[in-house]
Amino acid sequence: MDILLILASGLTLIVFGVLWVQKRFTYWKKMGIPYEVPHFLYGNLKGVGQYDHDGLLTQKFYEKFKGISPIVGVYYSIKPVAIFIDINLIKDILIKDFASFHDRGIYYNERDDPLSTHLISLPGGKWKQLRNTCSPAFTSLKMKTMFSTMMEVGVKLEKKIDQVCKSGKALDIKKVMSLFTMDVIGSCAFGLETNSLEDENNEFFRMGISVFDNPRYSTRSTFVLQAFRGYARKLRLKLFRDEVIKFYTDLVRNTIDYRLKKKEGRNDFMQILIQLHTSKGEDNLSFNEVLGQTFVFHIAGFEASASILQFCFYELACNPDIQNRLRHHINQVLRKHDGEVTYEAIMDMKYLDQVVNETLRKNPPFGMLSRETTLNYKIPGTDCILEKGTSLHIPIYAIHHDPEFYPNPSKFNPDNFSEEAVKNRHPIAFLPFGAGPRACIGVRFGMMQVKLGVITGLRKFKYTLSPKTRQPIKLQSKFFVAQPEGGIWLNIESVD
C-alpha cells in the first residue's frame, strides 16, 4: 500500500511538473509575439554547448523571423527571452529608450564572487556611478600616456614572431597574440612585467587563460544560471573557480598594499583605482569594486583583443592582396612619421581602421548583447508590452552578416568601412562594442593594442594559411568569446 502511495504521489508530481513547464511555454503565445517552438527539456538552447556558438544560435532566429516581427520569443530553459530583430527598434533600445533597458541582466554575486561584480554586470545606479568614476581612465590622453608602455611590449612581440619565422614552424597566432595582449594588460593595468612573451608558463598568463579554457560551468549551464539569477544568488553560486578568485584577490590586494606602503605611483589603470579606493568622497571604491574592475579589464582586455587579432591575421592570410595593401599603407604612413610607431602615426592609418573594423564586422568577439527591461515597455507599432524584468538579446553576429547592410557578408571586404559606405549604412548595423551609454568603456584601449599588434606583426612579415588550420572555420560552442575550433595556424616568412 505504501509503495502504491509513493508511486501515485511521484506520478502526480511529474504530471504537475509537466503541466507547469507546458504553461511556462505559452508565455510568448499569450503575448501575441511570434516565437520559436521550444524543446521540453532545454527550451531553445539546443546545440548550445555542443555545436552552436551563441552568435550562430541567435542568427538562426534572426534570419527566420526577420520581416515577420520586430522581435521573436525564445526560451532559455524555461525562461522567456526576447530576441530583437528590427534595426530601428534596436537603436531605440540602446539609445533613445535606454532608461528602460539600462541593465544587462548578467549574473553577479558580490558576496561570494567579487570578480563577477564589475561594470559589465552591475545594474542601474551602481553601474552609472562606477562608470562615471572610471571613465577618466579611458580618455584619449590616458591612451597616449600608456602608449609607450604598450610599445615596449610591441618590441617583444616582434622578436617573438621573428623567432617563429626563423624556426620555420607554423605560428599559432591566437597563442602569440594572447601572450602579447596579456603582457600589455599586465603592464598597463597592474604595472607588472609579466613577460608572457618570454615565459608563457608564468602564473599570470596561465590563470588568465584558464578563465576561458577551464570555466566553472559549461556554456549551456551559464545560460541557465543567467536565466535564474535570483535563485543562483540564494544558493550562493559563484561564476568563477575558487582558484581564480583567490589568485586575483591576492594579486590586487598585494599590489595595493605594496604601492601604499612604498608610496609608489605609476601611470596605469591600477593607480587610478587605488586613488579612488583611498579617496574619502562619493567616488570611493570598495576593495571588491577595485577587484572586479581590475579583473574584467584584464580578462576582457586580453582575450577579446587576442581574438580580434587572430581573426584579422587569418583574414589577411586568406586575402593576400588586402594583406599587401595594408602592409604598404602601414609603411607609407610610418615614413611620414620618421619611421617611428607613435600614437599619432596609428591614428593616421585609415586603411588599418577599415581592416580592423571589417574583422570586427565579420568575426565579432561576442555574438550578442544582453539587456533587461527595467520598466514595462510597449513595443512601437504593436499592442505588446514587455514586462519589467524581461530578458532580451540583440543579435550582433546576425546583424553583421545581414546582406541588407553588408552585401556579400561572407566576403572579407574592408571597403565596407570606407567613409561613403559608413555614411550610407544604418548607424546601428555595426555593434562590436555595443552602442549608447552602455557601450564598452575600454574600446579606445582595446583598439589601440589591436592596431599595435597588427602593425608589429605585419610590417616585416607576411602570412599564408597553414594546412593545420581547419577549413572552413567552425566556432567553438564552449566560448562566449568567438574562437575557431582547432585554432588558426599560419605560415610566416620575412618580407625582404
> Per mean pLDDT, which range of 48-57, 235-244, 306-315 is the poorest?
48-57
Task: Give the highest mean pLDDT range of 36-45, 228-237, 359-368.
Answer: 359-368
Q: Is residue 82 part of a domain?
A: no
C-alpha–C-alpha distance, residues 32 and 139, integer Å: 45
395: left (phi over 0), alpha (psi -120 to 50) or beta: beta
Distance between CA 54 and CA 65 in Å, rounded? 17
Query: What's the number of domains the chain is made of?
Result: 1
Helix, strand, coil fractions of the chain, as percent rounded to 5: 55, 10, 35
Residue whose C-alpha is closest to residue 445's, from 141, 127, 176: 141
pLDDT at 448: 94
How far is the C-alpha of 64 from the C-alpha of 413, rounded, in Å? Answer: 26
Cell of 186: 599586465
The 10 Å Cβ neighbour count of residue 303 is 24
Assess whether pLDDT exceeds 60 at residue 1. Answer: no
| Structural domain includes residue 302 | yes
- The pLDDT score that the predictor gives to residue 280 is 79
| CA end-to-end span of the chain | 89
Residue set of the binding site: 440
Would you list which residues are annotated within the binding site for heme? 440
User: Is 196 domain-assigned?
Assistant: yes
Q: In terms of pLDDT, which residue wins out, 78 or 402?
A: 402
Task: Give residues with Cβ within 8 angstroms of 241, minimum separation 6.
Answer: 210, 214, 215, 216
Whether the Cβ atoms of residue 133 and residue 276 lie closer than 8 Å to each other: yes
In a domain, 26, yes or no: no
CA distances (Å), origin 169, targets 160, 161, 172, 196, 318: 12, 11, 9, 20, 19
Q: Is the residue at 399 inside a domain?
A: no
Which of 11-20, 109-118, 172-181 has the highest mean predicted lDDT (pLDDT)? 172-181
Q: Which of 144, 223, 156 is nearest to 183 (CA)?
A: 156
| Burial of 21: CB neighbours in 10 Å, binned 0-12, 13-18, 19+ | middle
Task: Tell me what pLDDT residue 228 has.
Answer: 77
How far, in whole angstroms, is CA 114 from its chain's centroid?
19
pLDDT above 90 covers a percentage of the chain that reads 47
What are the pLDDT digits (tens) for 245-296?
A: 899 999 889 888 888 888 777 777 888 888 888 887 777 788 888 888 888 8
> Contact, 458 vs 323, CB < 8 A?
yes
Overall average pLDDT of the 293-315 stretch: 90
Q: Is residue 97 part of a domain?
A: no
27, containing H or E segment: helix 27-31
The answer to whether residue 383 sits within a structural domain is no
Percent of the chain with pLDDT over 70: 93
Identify whether 387 is part of a domain: no
Q: Which domain holds residue 437?
A: 105-368+424-494
- Nearest Cα neighbor of 446 from 303, 290, 333 is 303
What CATH number is attached to the domain comprising 305?
Answer: 1.10.630.10
* Residue 51's pLDDT band (cuts 50, 70, 90): very low
pLDDT in tens, 403-422: 999 999 999 999 999 999 99
pLDDT of residue 26: 86
The string of pLDDT tens digits covering residues 471-494 is 888 877 555 677 888 899 999 999
Q: What is the mean pLDDT of the chain?
A: 87
Q: How sure is the predictor about 111, in pLDDT bands with cuts at 50, 70 and 90?
A: confident
